[in-house]
Chain A
């Protein structure tokens, strides 16, 4: 009985999220200023490449999670978060195309790795405690928020006026990710035993991925 009530509450919450979410408007304008020298172009290129690959990976992680959780009560919520990530990926695809940024060579690898990561970690979390199915989501969202934060810092330190549109995009995405993380935390993601271990594993993975992506 209690379970049914909780289930109903969660579905209500997810519906509320769907209704109140603000869509990202796809604006066809240049989000970046034309680079003034090779160095700036290289820095922006690697930043955008990492972001694009990150959103692509997040997409695949959510796909992996959905493969496990699609028929559970957290399914609709994860579907909603996945749709948001899809929007982010679309935006980055646009920016990459406009500014002739090379996508990373490792995308096929990311495809498989992300899906596997999402699926395996969610299965483990499910086995340990059904409540903790959002733990993978929370850990991933936290790493991504950290990464976006550091990028915002870099851009602000360099020249905030020059990169206003890009900063806007990154800040918006960062806020979205933080919201998703908070949602996950509300769903008792931290109740999984070994959550800290899970979180550390994912954070190390993300850092290694970012390091490689900046180069390849």
Chain B
């Protein structure tokens, strides 16, 4: 599977490079037409060479066809051939793999991201499956076999979508934060901010709400759990950070745990909500946030009461010690 992936990626690169060179070749051939068909044949051969070179470059073995063509070669075109092969050679260096070489080449991650983003359009039709990824790849003009690039299959698609949503959320929250800092907008109270942030994030699921239960079950698969937990915790941390939480004690943990609970339960309510524009979900969210705020207030009151009780007891103990004369200093 690993080898297949490399060949596929290389072939894709080769196809793109070939297209570029074909374009170049046609321009060059026009200018060189007086020299006749030999040069044209040499250029075509170069393009083939480029393709083959690309597919072999990852294995870093000099392609045998290089020599084949060289030995079979026509004398008049061999020099031009040699030159263009020389020119072709640098393009197939290892710079390809890092994606740093020129604007026509992109990294594997960028390519994967593009495929997955396009695949999202096919999710309502195919669900969160490898078929959706294949359909996305085909839309980009790639072979559907490029799904071999994704070791995790549907899990990759779901995690990509979650990453995209979280990035969008973080961007919007940062934007709002900027506006508040510049004085262009009013700062919201914590409960309201929470509500708006969670609603914003959950609304991103609306286009895929019919298939979302399938996505949730994919995220719960054992090998996807670390990834999904990390995304969830990053999102919750983002929301609290922009809500203004700078706590450095146990509150850090309790607040994030509370928000995780709210988010998860609201998500579950949302997938089986059939009211217009998910009104019931937002009402549920309101109630949960009110609960948490109440709990926080109650906890504060309990702590204050507890402290007063302790102080009262200490006072009583000291009074007792005074009465019995045990408190006298030597």
Q: List residues of chain A with CB within 8 A of the CB of B247.
A: 97, 103
A71 touches B329 (CB 8 A): yes
Q: Which of B35-54 contact A (CB under 8 A)?
A: none
Least CB separation from B237: chain A residue: A100
A97 CA to B247 CA, complexed, in Å: 7
Least CB separation from A100: chain B residue: B241
**Can you list, as one digit per residue, whether each of B48-67 has a CB less than 8 Å from chain A (1) or not (0)?**
00000000000000000000
Asked whether A41 is an interface residue with its Cβ less than 8 Å from the other chain, the reply is: no
Q: Which of A92, A98, A102 contacts B252 (CB 8 A)?
A: A102
Asked whether A105 is an interface residue with its Cβ less than 8 Å from the other chain, the reply is: yes
Least CB separation from B241: chain A residue: A100
Q: List residues of chain A with CB within 8 A of the CB of B329.
A: 71
Given A71-B329, A105-B253, residue A93 in contact with residue B248 (CB < 8 A) = yes
A10 CA to B248 CA, complexed, in Å: 36
Least CB separation from A108: chain B residue: B250
A204 CA to B241 CA, complexed, in Å: 36
B237 touches A103 (CB 8 A): no
- B330 CB, nearest partner CB in chain A, Å: 11
Q: List residues of chain A with CB within 8 A of the CB of B248.
A: 52, 92-93, 96-97, 103
Asked whether B189 is an interface residue with its Cβ less than 8 Å from the other chain, the reply is: no
**Can you list, as one digit per residue, whether each of A49-91 has a CB less than 8 Å from chain B (1) or not (0)?**
0001000000000000000000100000000000000000000
Q: Which of A96-115 contact B (CB under 8 A)?
A: 96-98, 100, 102-103, 105, 107-108
| Overall SS of chain A's interface | helix
- A53 CB, nearest partner CB in chain B, Å: 10
Q: List residues of chain B with CB within 8 A of the CB of A92.
A: 248
Q: List residues of chain B with CB within 8 A of the CB of A93.
A: 246, 248
A100 CA to B243 CA, complexed, in Å: 13
A100 CA to B256 CA, complexed, in Å: 13
Q: Which of B276-330 contact A (CB under 8 A)?
A: 329
A97 CA to B249 CA, complexed, in Å: 11
- A85 CB, nearest partner CB in chain B, Å: 15
**Can you list, as one digit per residue, whether each of B207-245 has a CB less than 8 Å from chain A (1) or not (0)?**
000000000000000000000000000000100010000
Least CB separation from A95: chain B residue: B248
A97 touches B250 (CB 8 A): no
A97 CA to B246 CA, complexed, in Å: 5
Given A71-B329, A97-B246, residue A103 in contact with residue B241 (CB < 8 A) = no
Q: List residues of chain B with CB within 8 A of the CB of A98.
A: 246
Least CB separation from B252: chain A residue: A103
A102 CA to B253 CA, complexed, in Å: 9
B246 touches A103 (CB 8 A): no
Q: Which of A96, A100, A107 contacts B250 (CB 8 A)?
A: A107
**Can you list, as one digit per residue, whether each of A25-54 has a CB less than 8 Å from chain B (1) or not (0)?**
000000000000000000000000000100
A52 CA to B252 CA, complexed, in Å: 14
Q: 8 pairs across A/B with beta carbons < 8 Å? A: A52-B248, A97-B246, A100-B237, A102-B252, A103-B247, A105-B253, A107-B250, A108-B250
Since A100-B241, A103-B252, A107-B250 are in contact, a sample of 17 more A-B pairs with Cβ atoms closer than 8 Å, ordered by chain A residue number, is: A52-B248, A71-B329, A92-B248, A96-B246, A96-B248, A97-B246, A97-B247, A97-B248, A98-B246, A100-B237, A102-B252, A103-B247, A103-B248, A103-B249, A105-B253, A107-B249, A108-B250
In the A-B complex, the 8 residue pairs with the smallest Cβ-Cβ separation, listed nearest first, are A97-B246, A103-B248, A96-B248, A93-B248, A103-B252, A107-B249, A108-B250, A100-B241
Which residues on A are within 8 Å of B, measured CB to CB?
Answer: 52, 71, 92-93, 96-98, 100, 102-103, 105, 107-108
